């Protein structure tokens, strides 16, 4: 059913042809509950475009993505204006792909898409993966532009029957309602604030990593506003005093838990003068895909 909503890309991520690979990119251009600087519906095409020109070896020298490639399904364009129906379709897609043993890297859209992706992936892999969230925000509001939006996505996720253990990394913007909610969370969770990362990166990364030690599988959700606006200016809700991309790269390297899916959300191309945010989005796809292939042991990893 969800395939009816799929639009093939004019050129796949990284310029690869479709070959039934283990890592799958899909764009989810949903931003109709954005409250500010909307435009993340244009992120999948902006990220695809810049992906044609970036190198496909990881910044650490791992060239597995260049060798193995990535499949690009194109964009899943559900029902404009109907957020709940759209999320059902996204969930169905994520479930089916995860069930095939493939690893989705979804490109948003705004953060609203995460709960549906997570829900589908957890059904597909048959368990609730832990979740690592890179974000300036906690997204724990009960309502903002309705119950399903970019500002409520983690609240909805933690309302699941079996809420996942969760690690936030790079947080620096929250309301008193969200702080109250954060204190109520009764699953293992760690909040690593961006100021802690900036003051002592090794200690902060170790703390986040330790928070994932109890996990068997991991879902990665990257809201690019977690990075400082110097690196990611083109986002819906910019917040100063954010992390550097290298902090994420080092955190990713330190993770020993199996990454089963990821999303990269909140790139807003209309506000991305110079295109550095889309370039960061494309770079994140490559780094995460490299990590997944390395963990799957599918390819001989060569580095220098």
- For the chain, what's the residue count? 304
Instruction: State the nearest-atom distance from the C-beta of 266 to Mn ion, in Å.
Output: 6
CA atoms within 13 A on the CB side of 164: 26
Q: Which residues contact 234 (CB under 8 A, 6 or more apart)?
A: 267, 268, 269, 270, 271, 272, 273, 275, 276, 277, 278
* 223 vs 294, beta carbon nearer Mn ion: 223
Query: Residue 85, Cα to own-chain centre: how many angstroms?
Result: 21
* 136 vs 284, beta carbon nearer Mn ion: 136
Start-to-end Cα distance in the chain: 45
Query: Which one of the spans 94-102, 127-135, 159-167, 273-281 is the region binding Mn ion (CB under 5 A)?
Result: 127-135
Distance separating alpha carbons of residues 269 and 278, to the nearest angstrom: 7
Residue 294 phi, psi dihedral angles, 5° rounding: -60, -45
Answer for the pair 253, 97: CB distance below 8 angstroms, yes or no.
no
* 62 vs 152, beta carbon nearer Mn ion: 152
* 22 vs 112, beta carbon nearer Mn ion: 112
Answer yes or no whether residue 225 interacts with Mn ion by CB under 5 A.
yes
Distance separating alpha carbons of residues 295 and 190, to the nearest angstrom: 24
* 117 vs 292, beta carbon nearer Mn ion: 117
Answer yes or no whether residue 155 interacts with Mn ion by CB under 5 A.
no
Answer yes or no whether residue 137 interacts with Mn ion by CB under 5 A.
yes
Residue nearest to Mn ion (CB): 137
* 71 vs 239, beta carbon nearer Mn ion: 239
Query: Which one of the spans 114-122, 128-136, 277-285, 289-297 is the region binding Mn ion (CB under 5 A)?
Result: 128-136
Helix axes 113-125, 83-99, angle to 10 degrees: 30
Give strand pairing partners of 6: 76
**Which position among 178, 196, 223, 228 is part of the footprint of Mn ion (CB under 5 A)?**
223
- Binding string, 183-222, against Mn ion, x = CB under 5 A? ----------------------------------------
Count, residues near Mn ion per rule CB under 5 A: 5
Query: Which one of the spans 39-47, 56-64, 134-142, 211-219 is the region binding Mn ion (CB under 5 A)?
Result: 134-142
Query: How is 50-100 classified by DSSP, letter by letter?
Result: HHTTS-SS-TTS--HHHHH--EEEEEE---TT-HHHHHHHHHHHHHHHHHT
* 102 vs 137, beta carbon nearer Mn ion: 137
**Which position among 110, 128, 135, 272 is part of the footprint of Mn ion (CB under 5 A)?**
135
* 201 vs 229, beta carbon nearer Mn ion: 229
Answer for the pair 63, 56: CB distance below 8 angstroms, yes or no.
yes
Instruction: State the nearest-atom distance from the C-beta of 173 to Mn ion, in Å.
Output: 7
Distances (CA, A) of 249 to 26, 260, 297: 22, 17, 19
Query: Which one of the spans 55-63, 118-126, 195-203, 224-232 is the region binding Mn ion (CB under 5 A)?
Result: 224-232
| Residue ranges in contact with Mn ion by CB under 5 A | 135-137, 223, 225
């Amino acid at each position: 059913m969800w395939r009816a909503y799929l639009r093939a890309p004019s050129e796949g991520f990284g310029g690869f042809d479709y070959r039934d690979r283990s890592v799958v990119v899909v764009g989810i251009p949903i931003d109709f509950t954005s409250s500010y600087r909307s435009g993340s519906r244009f992120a999948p095409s902006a990220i695809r475009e810049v992906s044609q020109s970036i190198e496909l070896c990881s910044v650490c020298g791992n060239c597995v993505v260049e060798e193995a490639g990535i499949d690009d399904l194109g964009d899943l364009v559900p029902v404009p204006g109907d957020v709940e129906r759209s999320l059902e379709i996204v969930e169905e897609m994520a479930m089916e792909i995860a069930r095939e043993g493939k690893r989705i890297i979804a490109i948003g859209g705004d953060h609203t898409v995460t709960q549906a992706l997570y829900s589908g992936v957890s059904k597909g892999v048959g368990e609730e993966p832990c979740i690592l969230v890179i974000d300036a925000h906690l997204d724990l509001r009960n309502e903002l532009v309705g119950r399903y939006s970019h500002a409520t996505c983690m609240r909805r996720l933690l309302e699941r029957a079996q809420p996942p253990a969760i690690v936030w990394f790079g947080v620096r913007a929250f309301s008193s309602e969200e702080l109250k909610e954060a204190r109520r969370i009764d699953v293992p969770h760690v909040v690593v604030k961006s100021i802690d990362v900036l003051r002592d990166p090794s200690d902060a990364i170790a703390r986040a990593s330790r928070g994932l030690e109890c996990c068997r599988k991991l879902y990665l959700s990257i809201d690019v506003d977690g990075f400082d606006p110097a690196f990611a200016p083109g986002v819906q809700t910019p917040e100063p005093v954010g992390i550097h991309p290298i902090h994420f790269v080092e955190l990713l390297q330190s993770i020993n838990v199996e990454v089963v899916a990821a999303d990269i959300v909140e790139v807003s191309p209309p506000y991305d003068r110079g295109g550095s945010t889309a370039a960061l989005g494309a770079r994140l796809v490559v780094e995460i895909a490299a990590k997944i292939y390395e963990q799957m042991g599918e390819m001989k990893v060569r580095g220098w």
